[in-house]
């Protein structure tokens, strides 16, 4: 990348981190969308998105845990197999065209997630251990392959199945994202022995944006407009990835 591109990428990452953290997400799909719009290579996108996700998810995990919303009993069955499978996914290098289509589908799903009204905030049951283990393994593998944390899928699943209330689902997903991002990053680095040199300045931008966004989000900002804006960005990037050869 040229220095001019980095100068534009830094504020873009800051904005994504700010917007996502204000609605309780770490932002992996947004980081991938931004880097895809800048036409970065998959071998750069995946580890960079994992690092940024790791940093912002750390902030979210701490805040939700401190507020008393985290549930260990709900978290560990999903995380047990997701962590090693995220490591495996991080080690695998998909062909560029397959990576673009897979990530494009993830971005489109993420956009839909921001447009769909969540289910009622109530709990009617708990997942069975086999179901949680298998779901966690699948999400972990997808996390490592694409450079996301898997939370964009876990959160709506927990709410749709009414296994957790909204804040508990966000708390569990935040640590799930953190664990998978760390594991996927280790897997990627163990395979490539390489890390993008421009990641440090955009990592700082993500931390600052995530800290400000999560703080303001906790003060009851209305998230509906932010979610719509994020959905538009994700739709554009998702379609671009799928259609670009």
Domain ranges of the chain: 8-243
pLDDT in tens, 185-235: 999 999 888 776 666 789 999 999 988 887 776 555 556 666 777 788 788
- What is the Cα Rg of the chain in Å? 16
Q: What is the 3-class SS of the chain, one letter each residue?
A: CCHHHHHHHHHHHHHHHHHHHHCCCCCHHHHHHHHHHCCCCHHHHHHHHHHHHHHHHHHHHHHHHHCCCCCHHHHHHHHHHHHHHHHHHHHCCCCHHHHHHHHHHHHHHHHHHHHCCCCCCCCCCCCCHHHHHHHHHHHHHHHHHHCCCCHHHHHHHHHHCCCCCHHHHHHHHHHHHHHHHHHHHHHHHHHHCCCCCCHHHHHHHHHHHHHHHHHHHCCCCCCHHHHHHHHHHHHHHHHHHHHCC
pLDDT band for position 78 (cuts 50, 70, 90): very high
Mean pLDDT of 14-25: 83
Question: Higher model confidence: residue 212 or residue 120?
Answer: 212
Specify the pLDDT at position 121. 66
* pTM across the whole model: 0.84
Specify the pLDDT at position 39. 81
Mean pLDDT of 79-91: 95
Average pLDDT of the chain is 85
């Amino acid at each position: 990348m040229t220095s001019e591109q980095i100068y534009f990428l830094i504020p873009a990452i800051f904005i994504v981190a700010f917007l996502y953290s204000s609605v309780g997400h770490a932002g992996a799909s947004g980081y991938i969308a931004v880097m895809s719009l800048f036409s970065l290579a998959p071998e750069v996108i995946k580890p960079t998105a994992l690092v940024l996700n790791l940093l912002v998810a750390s902030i979210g995990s701490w805040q939700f845990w401190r507020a008393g919303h985290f549930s260990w009993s709900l978290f560990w069955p999903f995380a047990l197999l997701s962590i090693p499978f995220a490591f495996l996914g991080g080690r695998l290098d998909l062909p560029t065209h397959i990576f673009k289509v897979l990530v494009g589908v993830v971005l489109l799903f993420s956009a839909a997630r921001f447009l769909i009204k969540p289910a009622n905030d109530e709990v009617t049951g708990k997942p069975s251990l086999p179901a949680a283990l298998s779901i966690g393994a699948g999400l972990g593998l997808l996390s490592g392959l694409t450079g996301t944390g898997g939370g964009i899928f876990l959160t709506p699943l927990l709410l749709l199945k009414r296994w957790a209330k909204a804040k508990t689902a966000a708390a569990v997903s935040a640590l799930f994202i953190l664990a998978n991002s760390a594991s996927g990053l280790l897997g990627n680095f163990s395979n490539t022995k390489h890390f993008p040199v421009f990641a440090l300045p955009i990592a700082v931008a993500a931390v600052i944006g995530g800290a400000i966004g999560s703080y303001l989000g906790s003060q009851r900002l209305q998230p509906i407009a932010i979610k719509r804006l994020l959905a538009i960005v994700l739709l554009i990037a998702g379609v671009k990835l799928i259609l670009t050869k």
